Structure 1
Amino acid sequence: MITDNQTNFLYLADTLLKLYPDFYQRFEQTLKEAGIEHSLLPNTKDVWAVDYMPIQVTRDEFVQFVYNPSYLQAKVWQKTISNVDSICTSINLQPKKSNILVDGGNVVKAKNKVIMCQRVFTENPHIPEKKLIKELQELFQVDQLIFIPTQPKDFTGHADGMVRFLDEKTVLINDYSKEKKDFQLLVKSALHNAGLDWVEIPYNPYSNKKDKHANGIYINFLQMKGTLVLPVFGQKEDEETVKLFGQLFPNVSIATVDSNEIALEGGILNCITWNIMT
């Protein structure tokens, strides 16, 4: 599996520039200063590129899952589903297709492991659980699939707002100390049973006015080869988070970008980026 810290080229949806021009300008400047090359995916219908674009498994192999999640079934949201076939053709990509329904935001990658929220099972009720696990393992070409509980009130059911890999044996998780004890135990038990250790990072979405708002969720960062871009929100945790990441990633350049506009729509930096190894 190609990991985020191996990727060297970034794509953004062209809708990002149209819908969030001020954020796009700031983000583009951050990318430029970090030396990250990027291009725009054409004819997209929403900004959440990681969710609908294929998963890169090896340098030359990509898997395209079905993007038709339960939370987009209302007619008003169906029109926001991009034509992935057309986008892939426009960038000369021919991915392997799967009939499994998976959002890219629910695929957190290490070299030989993938973490997903359990939402993947309810999104694919027509596939027996054991068969689904086996097929996903084969498609991802990993030995271990790890399933964590979906965070309450997260309408997307994505893992990238909950956990990210620090290395093959350690993950970063949100500081869920203010969440219900049962949920905390379920998350940590799933990681422990998978043989993973964890480091808690700042987490403060508690002043948000709506459940969908993602302001204060720092774990949804962009990671590429040699660079990590953290979202910041003008909260007291910003400085603490930047300092902690400098300690956790001592050989990586850490950049930040104010991400409040897109966070209000429910996603942050990993959600809007599709970074690959070329």
Structure 2
Amino acid sequence: MSQLTKRRWPAEWEKHQATWMAWPCRKEIWSNGLEKARHAFAKIANTISEYEPVNMIVRAEDAPSAQKLLNSDIEIHFFELDDSWARDISPLWVEEQLDGSKHSLALKFIFNAWGNKFEPYAHDAKVAEHITQIVQSKVESHDVVLEGGSIHGNGQGTILTTKECLLNPNRNPQLTQDDIESFLLKTFGAKDVIWLNKGVFGDVDTDGHIDNIACFVDDKTILTQSTSDRASENFSIYHENREIIHDAGMSLVEIPEPEARYRDGEREPLSYINYYIANDLVVLPAFGCKQDQAALSMLKDLYPKRDIKQIDANEILIGGGGIHCITMQQPLIQSA
């Protein structure tokens, strides 16, 4: 970047041009069946479409199910997919200012299926390129593994992430923490990075993505989960992260974690943090547990100018993620 070029990564609560999603297709991860997963995705997509445009990526052979379940105003784009986690396979858009002119720039990274955990993934690795062609974005490609769910920004130059994910040797083993931080600062035009130690317990598929444990709700406030139960596997994780957030000079709001749920003896990574902000809307997960109502009340307080729609996320959880994981915002960056 020249000295006359400035970048800013818009916060998720800023105005969107559209939302991008991908239609479920990897049968083996949906133990309750693809049909239930698709109904869950459609519920999210149809809700968002009432507030902003939604683009759904669909394999050609899955057209009948998508066209049956999705609202007619959702735009369907046909190309090959391996999986359905739009957050991690879509480009990330930044606002670029050059000599007084403002433009949208799509950042494209390497996708390796969260450290080669799922195969095949060659089609998913090309999704970001397809999207940039559809929207005709200016593109900048980077030879670095980075998923959208692994970082979060406040729109003012601070990036939030976890060491558990970004320093995992299955991502970029050739890079040190200092290397990765320098890369993030330069690529996103950021000023600093807050490194939490770990993500929520049980988030083994993504190695502790930030979007399951903490997020910005404004430029100075971070929302994270909490528990007073010392028996919780997350108790010490929350305690350590709480201290890091305070030391970073950020305000902290804590939301009770959903009650523990186990599958095959392993704790599932339930999270209220994994919500999606759309234009004038927040889509909040519900899990059918006693904390759901408290989470809804808290989000209403945090986002008083937005509608809050709480939607059952259990079928999405079965596949290994949440509402934020299956959505990606394309910010509205108007040329100036």
Tell me the residue number matched to 2:22.
13
Structure 1 stretch displaced more, 120-129 or 188-197: 120-129
- Number of residue equivalences: 275
Structure 1 position 57 matched with structure 2 position 94: yes
Answer whether contact 1:30 1:256 (CA < 8 A) is retained: no
CA distance in 1, matches of 2:237, 2:45: 37
Structure 1 position 259 matched with structure 2 position 313: yes
Structure 1 stretch displaced more, 53-62 or 181-190: 181-190
The 5 A counterparts of 1:179-258 are 179=233, 181-204=235-258, 206-209=260-263, 211=266, 213-214=268-269, 216-258=270-312
Tell me the residue number matched to 1:109.
153
Which consecutive unaligned segments of at least 5 residues does structure 2 have? 1-8, 28-33, 58-77, 96-102
Deviations 1:215-236 (A, max 9, x none): x411100012321110112222
Q: 1:48 aligns with which of 73, 76, 85?
A: 85
Deviations 1:188-237 (A, max 9, x none): 122122111211112125123154744x4111000123211101122221
Tell me the residue number matched to 1:134.
182
Deviations 1:155-188 (A, max 9, x none): 2120000001111111000114334554233211
TM-score of the pair, normalised by structure 2: 0.75
The 5 A counterparts of 1:67-106 are 67-73=111-117, 76-78=119-121, 81-84=124-127, 85-106=129-150
The 5 A counterparts of 1:130-169 are 130-151=178-199, 152-155=201-204, 156=206, 157-169=208-220
Answer whether contact 1:63 1:97 (CA < 8 A) is retained: yes
CA distance in 2, matches of 1:212, 1:13: 27
Answer whether contact 2:113 2:121 (CA < 8 A) is retained: no
Q: Name the % identity.
A: 23
Answer whether contact 1:4 1:225 (CA < 8 A) is retained: no
Answer whether contact 2:52 2:279 (CA < 8 A) is retained: no
Shift of residue 88, structure 1, vs aligned partner: 3.0
CA distance in 1, matches of 2:237, 2:249: 19
Deviations 1:220-277 (A, max 9, x none): 0001232111011222211111111111211121112111111111211110001112
Answer whether contact 2:85 2:326 (CA < 8 A) is retained: yes
**Does the residue aligned with 1:240 lie in a helix, a strand or coil?**
helix
CA distance in 2, matches of 1:35, 1:243: 21
1:170–1:48 distance in 2 versus 1, CA, 3 Å: same
Tell me the residue number matched to 1:121.
167
**Bigger radius of gyration among the two:** 2
As a proportion of its length, which structure holds more helix? 1
CA distance in 2, matches of 1:226, 1:166: 14
Shift of residue 17, structure 1, vs aligned partner: 11
Residue type matched to 1:11 in 2? W
Shift of residue 15, structure 1, vs aligned partner: 3.4
As a proportion of its length, which structure holds more strand? 2
Which consecutive unaligned segments of at least 5 residues does structure 1 have? none
CA distance in 1, matches of 2:182, 2:295: 37
Answer whether contact 1:212 1:264 (CA < 8 A) is retained: no
**Does the residue aligned with 1:100 lie in a helix, a strand or coil?**
strand
CA distance in 2, matches of 1:81, 1:150: 26
RMSD of the alignment, in Å? 2.4
Residue type matched to 2:272 in 1? Y
Structure 1 stretch displaced more, 262-271 or 197-206: 197-206
